[in-house]
Amino acid sequence: MTPAVPEASLTALMHLLTEQALLSMGVPHPMVKEAPPANPAVARFYVDLLSVLKEKTEGSRSEAETAQLEEILYQLRMRVMDLKPAADTPAAPKS
């Protein structure tokens, strides 16, 4: 039995990007046994995409969509701050 395909919507797009961000952070998908390796740069990319989505849909979202998008961005930003930079990414210079 295949799962039903959700209706194409802003909420569906937000959830798709959120799922990709979480996978990039090393959070396993409920259907997968093993956690994928974290890739902080890709995780930040997906968070940035959600920020662009927020910016570009300003004034066009419902109150519920706005609240959901703001909560998603807050939660993902908190998680991304806990990620260690990838080994091949140069560390930021200390002031």
Residue 91 confidence (pLDDT): 47
Per-residue confidence band for 28, with pLDDT thresholds at 50, 70 and 90: confident
The tokens describing 62, both together, are 């419902």
Kindly state the average pLDDT of the residues 40-45.
Answer: 95
User: Where does 1-95 have alpha helices with state H?
Assistant: 10-24, 40-56, 63-81
CB 76 within 8 A of CB 50: yes
Is the per-residue pLDDT at 86 higher than 70? no
Q: What share of the chain is helix, strand, coil (3-state, %, to 5)?
A: 55, 0, 45
Kindly state the average pLDDT of the residues 68-82.
Answer: 95
Per-residue confidence band for 95, with pLDDT thresholds at 50, 70 and 90: very low
Kindly state the average pLDDT of the residues 58-69.
Answer: 97
Shortest CA distance to 27 belongs to which of 70, 69, 75? 75
Between CA 89 and CA 35 the distance in angstroms is: 22
